[in-house]
Amino acid sequence: MGSLVSVLLLIGVMPCAALPPREDIEWLDVWLPHTNDHDLPQVLLIGDSITRGYGPGVEKALTGRAYVGRLATSKSLGDPALLSEIELILQTNRVDVIHFNNGLHGPKYSEQDYADALPALLAVFKRTAPNARLIWANSTNVLAVRGSGEMTQPRIAERNRLAAAVVTKQGIPIDDLFSVVKDHPEYHLADGVHFTDIGYEKLAAQVAATVSSLLAPADCSDLASLALPGTTLQAQRESPGHFQVPDPSPFVPDLGVLPGFCRVTAQIRAVAGSEIGVEIWLPSAWNRRLLEVGNGGFAGAINYAGLAAAIKQGFVGVSTDDGHRTPASVTPTAAWSIGHAEKIVDFGHRAVHLASVTAKSVTNRYFGEPPDHSYFSGCSDGGREALMSAQRNPDDFDGWAVGAPANAWTSLMSGFVYVSRQVKSLPTPAFSALALETLRQSALSQCDGLDGVKDGIIGEPGACHFNPRQLVCKNAASGGCLSLGQAQVVANIYRGPPAVNGRLIPGYADTVGAEDLWALWLTGPVPAAFTEPSVASFGRAYFAQMVYQQNGRDLSTIPLSKLFADGRRGPGREVDAVDPDLNRVRGAGKKIIQYHGSADAAIPVEYSRRYYRAVQKYLGGDVTDFYRLFIMPGVGHCTGGPGADAINADDAAVPFDADHDVVAALIAWVENGKAPDRIIATHLQVDSSSSPLAARATGKVQFTRPLCVYPKHAAWNGAGSADEASSFACR
């Protein structure tokens, strides 16, 4: 059980012209139970002495479903102190549902003053508790007036009417407490304002029922009976704590302590030969949004880390295996596609679409209403999935967070084959770790300061004209320099292959100064669990298994131009997401935020720039009204590298807000019209001791940097600390 706080302040107010109108005695009562517990939703009742009367009954009625606190005060709308008190509580405590009332106090404020002040209160809620569900409670009636300064029944009725107009316009439901007691004078005490035990019981029951309607149902197992075409559902409630991943993998990090949630698994058989696995996690405290998270590589698994992150922020979390399951392995495979054309369609685009459709139906059944907004977030293949969704099924989501997308899949895989052939042309081992480090250090010594600050990051790699041939020596075997053959291969990796069928395949020139990241993906030496660099495995899996439908197909004699053409004519029709026509996205007011690390040693950042420029050209110019690209200097594939790579909320250090989190920035753009001009990225100290494949940030911030809307870049102001984002401007 968390901390329990109760405060009661009685303040005698002396006449003072500088203070707003107040009563002879002002008081504040705050009761916040279980402030450190996150297994159930946190409900805050805001009101006056009537709220203090029915509050314990609401708390009792919602036992096991929510924690209920209260903030009761004598201050009225119009008094700035009321907003300050509420803001302080919301800034320092998580709140999922706010049930609020104000109207019996403040007789010296006119009814119009009262109505004019209500939007300011709603703004406080939006600013300090943006994900909280709101319920307005109208004021209860009075039977008698104790003095000329008291509120009268007509005044209360008028305040209720004015408040109803304001909250209804903003889509906030109304809890009609006035009607509960207005025809029951026996519920009132002799003062005509407060209530007997029975009166408070009736009010508590009404409030508990209204709040309960916004909370998740107590039983989630009923979802298994939901009838959806070609779909089998299973559902069970997961208790708060550590979730046991069904198929443990070295790629899945510790999910941490999770709140309780309803876990739904689905098998969707869209057509013969298709079997799409989906998981839908429904949180106890819902923010009225749905977030589908993408996959990586050839998929084949549920993204449990993404689901966990989603429900921690109150989203309905959705993930699909893209239509096939493969055992966790460091070696990618597309063997599942051999003889299964429909599974290629599932992987290409159908699984993400049907997962969204299914999740919305499940959400509607569970919460009694569909999500207000739906979003997609993914990196690598998940970035490809995001752009494919925007191109083919733009009605599925309101916004897409697109990370390092493998959208030009066939082109990318052709580039992988090219690099693999280059590396295999050298004696084994092609490169030592020392050789790659020598490359990195030499490039940094020449180009690190081009962006105005020496920090181990080449912020403008396009301005760096590093020539690896300057490292050629006779004793290259030592690793402190390069052989002529190695230098040529490095130059070819930077440049990429010659034009293939008239189309250039990007190279890895932007990774200059981060060549240590090449080891896993491009050149080796690879970690012990791997047998070869990943580009070799991916390229062979795509072309041999998915394109040519043969295990063990020898690709060595097939020209790169033929590989590319066969891929585009075959599976590329389903998996390549390169259509620049985003008219439907723009026309519907939907938004896309795309990000890509410049030091990405898997998917060259030029792919993101190229697609963005293609969209600009197709749509006739500037597209920043709905589509913005952010380049992340020094960041590797989705994460890692020397740059500031964290733009997703971290429990310890990165907040979930529009300044620091890409999904939060997307929400602010879609729902509030606040377009992101920059996103503050964070570089966290990383602990990879447990598993280098699933390293976790320690929560210690090493530095922050702003990411700028392409083609702008962050420029140091020359004076402030280079570790602080505030010392940089986008230019």
State how far Cα 580 lies from the chain centre: 24
- pLDDT digits over 214-230, tens only? 876 657 888 998 889 99
**Contact, 469 vs 562, CB < 8 A?**
no
- Among the residue ranges 35-49, 50-64, 379-393, the one predicted with the least confidence is 35-49
Once rounded to an integer, what is the mean pLDDT over residues 65-76? 93
Catalytic residue of the set 600, 645, 650, 661: 600
267 beta partners: 232, 277
Cβ-contact 513, 444 below 8 angstroms: yes
Q: Is the pLDDT assigned to residue 6 strictly greater than 60?
A: no
Helix (H) or strand (E) holding 629: strand 627-632
Query: How much is the pLDDT for 325?
Result: 94
The answer to whether 175 is a known catalytic residue is no
Q: Domains (ranges, CATH) in the chain? A: 5-212 (3.40.50.1110), 217-327+337-371 (no CATH), 411-572 (no CATH)
Q: Which of 76, 356, 380, 420 is catalytic?
A: 380
| pLDDT one-digit tens code per residue, 202-260 | 999 999 999 987 876 657 888 998 889 999 999 999 999 999 898 777 677 788 889 99
pLDDT at 160 over 80: yes
Q: Is residue 328 over pLDDT 80?
A: no
Q: Which residues contact 445 (CB under 8 A, 6 or more apart)?
A: none
> Has 637 been annotated as catalytic?
yes
Look at the block and give the residue holding tokens 């932007």: 510
- pLDDT at residue 8 in the model: 40
CA angle 238, 239, 243 (to 5 degrees): 65
Q: Enumerate residues 6+ apart whose C-beta is below 8 A from 369.
A: none
- Whether the bond into 283 is cis, omega within 30 of 0: no
pLDDT at 698: 61
What does the pLDDT read at residue 544?
Answer: 98
b/e sequence 256-281, b meaning 16+ C-beta within 10 Å: eebbbbbbbbbebebeeebbbbbbbb
pLDDT higher than 90, residue 501? no
Q: Which two tokens stand for residue 111?
A: 């009814």
| Type of residue found at 382 | G
DSSP H helices, 496-526, are: 518
pLDDT, one tens digit per residue, over 346-389 is: 999 999 999 999 999 999 889 878 899 999 999 999 999 999 99
**Low-confidence winner among 141-150, 408-417, 640-649 (lowest mean pLDDT):** 141-150
pLDDT interval class at 652 (50, 70, 90): low
Q: Is 660 a catalytic residue?
A: no
Percent pLDDT > 70 in the chain is 94
- pLDDT band of 478, cuts 50, 70, 90: confident
pLDDT in tens, 587-637: 999 999 999 999 999 999 999 999 999 999 999 999 999 999 999 999 999
The answer to whether residue 693 scores a pLDDT higher than 50 is no
Q: pLDDT at residue 2 above 60?
A: no
**698 membership: H or E segment, kind and range:** strand 696-708
Quickly count: other Cβ atoms within 10 Å of residue 239's Cβ. Answer: 11
The whole-number average pLDDT for the span 450-476 is 94
Active-site annotation holder among 38, 349, 637, 713: 637
State how far the alpha carbon of 108 is from the alpha carbons of 25, 75, 294, in Å.
14, 11, 56
Average pLDDT over residues 39-48: 91
Average pLDDT over all residues of the chain: 92
The encoded tokens of residue 591 equal 């938004």
Segment 326-343 shows an average pLDDT of 93
Taking the mean position of all CA atoms in its chain, how far away is CA 362?
A: 21
Average the pLDDT over 403-409 and give the result: 98
